[in-house]
Structure 1
């Protein structure tokens, strides 16, 4: 099952890096519990092959025990940037995640939201939402075909 986000202008992020508090709910969640924001982002970017809980827990453990959770989130920022052909570089991704982790996470969250994902629903929830209005099979024509 393939869920595709809405296309944006090629190469451009839909919001600026420092627009972190334009969405108060994701900003507050990222401020107090960045592992949840990261887990949600990772699940969407990995198209459901990584669960939110799995990615968030690993991020939290890396951050608590090594202080290097930013390396894990940097990997996903690069992966998302390549997936959507967004401007930037791997070096820039690492700098942004190291120095401004929460801004980097909220920008990625907003990007996925602006591409049509309800990030809180996860991959499966977005797939179900997208397929909910799709009719199965061809439409039935009353009275057959006429010329």
Structure 2
């Protein structure tokens, strides 16, 4: 059934591969069937975590927009909706996220249970320092400051929070298209009369 082992090559008790239609190859380190060397490369090391661009209580600083802090304090659903739309990359709208935030606030009175997940998602996307436990504690203890910090972080990363995800994408693609069209077209040298 199996060919006899060759002299000098180790034998391994491996069962035959199931007939799946997918070719199977064995590396030289695990089997005598392949003479090729292993092309395994270890994964790259993880990027180091970075600090938030602003502090948690920087909503009262001179460089901060006092209007955004006021809006967040009196109506956090607006700020949360804007942040959630950018973090979700436009898959949920600002209005839908803000409405869900308000509904959770009206039903259970604790929207921080919902918003802390977005802080965790944002940390993972941008490699920010922190952990899930501190995300929850920050949102439970000071929801308005947490939302303002997330809003400022996204602004500092180049997002225009007023126009939302799709507006930012359109603005960036329009900027790329304008940059490519402002250069003069190349003139080819070649045939002449």
Distance in 1, matches of 2:118 and 2:184, equals 41
| Aligned twin of 2:164 | 122
The correspondence for 1:134, drawn from 140, 164, 176, is 176
| Aligned twin of 1:65 | 107
| Aligned twin of 1:23 | 65
Unmatched runs of 5 consecutive residues or more in structure 1? 1-8
Unmatched runs of 5 consecutive residues or more in structure 2? 1-47
Given the two structures, how large is their TM-score scaled by the length of structure 2? 0.67
Distance in 2, matches of 1:99 and 1:126, equals 32
Q: Does 1:109 align with 2:151?
A: yes
Structure 2 SS opposite 1:120? coil
Distance in 2, matches of 1:139 and 1:49, equals 38
Larger Rg: 2
Given the two structures, how large is their TM-score scaled by the length of structure 1? 0.87
| Aligned twin of 1:43 | 85
Shift of 1:91: 0.4
The alignment yields a C-alpha RMSD, in angstroms, of 1.9
Structural mapping, 1:76-115, within 5 Å: 76-115=118-157
Distance in 2, matches of 1:46 and 1:141, equals 40
